[in-house]
Amino acid sequence: MKTQYKITLCLLAVAAVVAGCTTTPGPVNLDKLTSDIVKASFRDEGIVKVSVLDTDDTNRACSAADVAGKPLDETTARAIEAENLKSIKWPTAGKFLGDWKEGEKIAQSGRGLTYTDDAKMPNGGNCYNCHQIDKKEISFGTIGPSLYNYGKLRGVTDDPNSAASKAIVEYTWGKIWNAKAYNACSNMPRAGHMGILTEAQVAHVVALLVDPKSPVNQ
Ligand code: HEC
């Protein structure tokens, strides 16, 4: 018991000396250190470039809030959402809806963005990884809310192109294009903004969610 006590004291003394000799890096240095290590450990490979690790103001603010362990303040959150909203590319010629059958395939597919992928092959939307969508699909993640009956529950009418359905159809496009436009630190990938899905693909996925003929709304 006594020896153990002595060893502990000794270790504490050594720790004190070591701590005295080194300076603890501040948060800024730690960030730089991390980014240097990351940059030195990765390389461009196939379609994946090291630049995918670059962050934008939105990522930085949300990561800082995560590290601080408290949500963004209201003003910053609204400013980030406004920035992301501005960046949304709305559909050419106002064509918000594509083909829900294509949308289902895109929602099912998690393909793309890995170094072995061919850049010419379209990416998937990976939606089922986080959402329930069609009731028939039994395998889905639950990070995001269920999207089953999405259009029906939100009052999309028989004519999704009608004025009555406009607001929800537009929101659905915007949310899929850039989820952070409506929720600053959303965990949902910014499918259009980050170039994961093309404009035509987003239209197909919107149709999957809002088209009254889509199995999602049966
Ligand atoms: C990594 C998980 C993740 C993936 C992948 C994902 N989402 Fe989401 N999604 C979320 C989360 C979490 C929310 C709820 C928080 C929020 O609104 O940002 C959400 C919210 C939504 C909403 C808003 C629901 C509402 O009631 O307002 C829609 C619509 C949506 N997702 C559609 C999709 C579609 C379509 C895809 C595929 C292209 C997709 N999501 C991929 C996580 C994800």
pLDDT tens, the chain, 218 aa long? 455 655 554 455 445 444 545 566 666 788 788 878 888 899 999 999 988 888 899 999 999 999 999 999 999 999 999 999 999 999 999 999 999 999 999 999 999 999 999 989 999 999 999 999 999 999 999 999 999 999 999 999 999 999 999 999 999 999 999 999 999 999 999 999 999 999 999 999 999 999 999 999 99
Q: Which DSSP letter does residue 41 get?
A: H
Q: Of 208, 62, 212, nearest to 124 (Cα)?
A: 208
Query: Do residues 176 and 196 lie in contact, with contact meaning Cβ atoms separated by under 8 Å?
Result: no
In this structure, the answer to whether residues 97 and 199 fall within a common structural domain is yes
Rounded alpha-carbon distances, angstroms, from residue 65 to 28, 61, 69, 76, 78: 15, 6, 6, 11, 14
The predicted model scores a pTM of 0.87
Residues 115 and 34 in one domain: no
- Does one domain contain both 99 and 204? yes
Pocket test for ligand 1, best of 84, 128, 130 (most atoms within 8 A of CB): 130
Considering the domain architecture, whether residues 96 and 204 belong to the same structural domain is answered as yes
Q: How many domains does the chain have?
A: 2
Separation CA 200–CA 209 (nearest Å): 15
Which residue out of 96, 175, 217 has the highest number of ligand 1 atoms within 8 Å of its CB and is therefore the one to mutate? 175
Domain range for 130 is: 92-217
Say how many Å lie between the CA of residue 67 and the centre of ligand 1: 23
Q: What is the CATH number of the domain that holds 134?
A: 1.10.760.10
3-class SS of residue 102: helix
CA atoms of 98 and 92, how far apart (whole Å): 12
Residues 197, 97, single domain; the answer is yes
